[in-house]
Structure 1
Amino acid sequence: MTTATQAPIGELDTPYEGLAPTAAADFNRDGFVHLSGVLSPGTVARYEPVVTSEVIRLNTQHLPLSERDTYGRAFLQVSNLWQENEEVRQLVFARRLAGIAAALLGVHAVRLYHDQALYKEPGGGITPWHADQYYWPLSSDRCLTIWLPLQETPLDMGPLAFARGSHQLSYGRELPISDESETRLRRVVAEQDFEDVVEPFALGDAGFHRGWTFHHAGPNRGTHPRRVMTVIYMDADIRVAAPTNDNQTRDRAWMPGAEVGQIPRTPLNPVLYDSRTA
């Protein structure tokens, strides 16, 4: 693609200059942030075809949408693409993105938990209300996800939406993503008067949200897949926690060999940014 050559040399390793001085405090208050121009359109155009080709190659969901449950209709999900493709690894390991994560969390360094490509097909359904950290056996809330669309994402494609301040709420943290989480969390978000922030994403924009921030997405009413790359970052000093549900037990596979109480210094969890060596 001709646009690939337009990606700035070294952009993935250069600092992002768009964070406000109050960014960490704002993120701690709101539980999410929507940042503009995190990557240039040329850089997104360079990596989108690579990620998409790997999703097509590695996808194991082949049922028609009409035969899937709510979770299955929400998106195609492929994880740890960085292990499959060197170019995807460049994107997942980008110091620019990890540096934003560390700054927002207020920590000196972050390590990788894992990545996920989430592709909502045309006609794909809602992503139910949920909080990601329900799935993570981690010892603190110093972890977040970047939601990086690989195309312009108008409202009819189902951009990710966040309940402002909901990470402060303990209700509903026992719920996996499901029809039940959609019903119960949609109700409590309204009852607690949390603002449901639904915004389109321009090409190069990205959302960052804390592990306990409740979020959701609408269906994809467009004619093209809503292509998104996500990366989960955690405080480099975080420790493995004892699982509190079966999903957390399974998620320990993302930190192979790390025991409860240990920092997950494993080959799958490298430090991606450390301000002391930046």
Structure 2
Amino acid sequence: MNAHPLAPIPDADVDAFWRDGVICLRGLFDADWIEHMRAAVEDDLAHPGPLAREYATQAGQRFLGDIGAWAVKPGLRKYVEESPAAEIAARMLRSRKVNFLYDQLFVKEPGTAAVTPWHQDGPYWPVQGDQILSIWLALDDVTVQSSGVEYIKGSHRWGREFRPIHFGGDTEAYKMLPGETLPDIDAIRREPGSGGLEIVNWDMKAGDCLLHHSMTVHGAPGNASSTQRRRAYATRWTGDDVVYAPRNGQASITIDKPTIQPGEPIDCAVFPRLWPRPQDSSLA
């Protein structure tokens, strides 16, 4: 399995990420990584981690979100520590160092109507800074019909923070957190000219990845396909300017508690620095 991206990431792609808040990159992970991750996903589906959540409410449907499972799942940990993801994040963030924030496994089985509501990632997380992104690795071919993620281009630069929305519909879950109520994006997009919003998505092959900024507004429809699974593994990465900034009312994103104090860089065992790779490590 490749330790470094299979192709260089050009400056134009880095510029596009910072301009648009999202980009799709292809061909950076080899087939062995995809097969490895599919096996890790099946293990997790059979034995979810302690922070796993089931978001589908209709019988016979499944939308699993497993949070922080890399800490207890060796197959997921291998990807976090040994895949090209940390190097990709460093390149895209233009950062000297990269810390791993946490992971989130998403599985929407065929015919699962549950949507991923429009949201920003940043308000859910106990960190502050601009150099924060997600790498959403597709483990199946994905289209909007099978719940491909949609993004509002440039929304990371709106200068607005929206209160988190619970994926399972619990309206009380984040009521203590600050932020505006997110507008009804689906209603706005039905207006002439999509209400001025530029919504983008990509048809993806297994192994393609989406990189999005923590403040980019995004969401996904249900999986309307009767045959196509939608398995994806999202890892969250931070750069030089990020500090620990927990808020009352945030849900746990890690199994263990960090040992750092608010305002400190997030270097600790819970949020390990994974780039540059240690020269004395087997990952070097």
Unaligned runs of 5+ in 2: 172-180
State the TM-score, normalizing by the size of structure 2.
Answer: 0.80
Structure-to-structure mapping, 1:3-42, within 5 angstroms: 10-11=1-2, 13-42=3-32
1:65 counterpart (57, 61, 65): 57
- Tell me if structure 1 keeps the 8 A contact 2:156–2:217: yes
Q: Corresponding residue for 1:3?
A: none
Taking the aligned partners of 2:256 and 2:196, their CA distance within structure 1 comes to 35
Q: Deviations over 1:159-206 (max 9, x none)?
A: 111111011113452242467967524456777623111221112100
The letter of the residue matching 1:143 is: I
The two structures, once aligned, show a CA RMSD in angstroms of: 3.0
- Tell me if structure 2 keeps the 8 A contact 1:129–1:177: no
Taking the aligned partners of 2:31 and 2:83, their CA distance within structure 1 comes to 18
Matched, 1:144 2:133: yes
2:159 counterpart (152, 170, 176): 170
Taking the aligned partners of 2:54 and 2:20, their CA distance within structure 1 comes to 38
Deviation, structure 1 residue 22: 2.2
Taking the aligned partners of 2:254 and 2:38, their CA distance within structure 1 comes to 29
1:85–1:271 Cα change, 3 Å: same
Taking the aligned partners of 2:156 and 2:256, their CA distance within structure 1 comes to 23
Taking the aligned partners of 1:247 and 1:62, their CA distance within structure 2 comes to 18
Q: Secondary structure at the match of 1:157?
A: coil
Deviation, structure 1 residue 251: 4.8
Matched, 1:45 2:54: no
1:52–1:236 Cα change, 3 Å: farther
1:98 counterpart (62, 81, 86): 86
Taking the aligned partners of 1:136 and 1:112, their CA distance within structure 2 comes to 13
The letter of the residue matching 2:57 is: L
State the TM-score, normalizing by the size of structure 1.
Answer: 0.82
Taking the aligned partners of 1:273 and 1:258, their CA distance within structure 2 comes to 19
Matched, 1:247 2:247: no
1:107 counterpart (95, 104, 124): 95
- Tell me if structure 2 keeps the 8 A contact 1:130–1:185: no
- Tell me if structure 2 keeps the 8 A contact 1:137–1:252: no
Q: Corresponding residue for 2:123?
A: 134
Taking the aligned partners of 2:128 and 2:99, their CA distance within structure 1 comes to 14
Taking the aligned partners of 1:199 and 1:104, their CA distance within structure 2 comes to 19
The letter of the residue matching 1:163 is: I
% identical equivalent positions:
24
- Tell me if structure 1 keeps the 8 A contact 2:127–2:245: yes
- Tell me if structure 1 keeps the 8 A contact 2:124–2:164: no
Matched, 1:231 2:235: yes
Unaligned runs of 5+ in 1: 1-9
The letter of the residue matching 2:106 is: L
Taking the aligned partners of 1:36 and 1:62, their CA distance within structure 2 comes to 30
Taking the aligned partners of 1:99 and 1:212, their CA distance within structure 2 comes to 21
Taking the aligned partners of 1:74 and 1:129, their CA distance within structure 2 comes to 19
Q: Deviations over 1:228-266 (max 9, x none)?
A: 1110101155211252x5126x45876512211111222
Q: Corresponding residue for 1:7?
A: none
1:138–1:62 Cα change, 3 Å: closer
Taking the aligned partners of 2:91 and 2:13, their CA distance within structure 1 comes to 8
Deviation, structure 1 residue 144: 0.6
- Give the structure with the larger helix fraction: 1
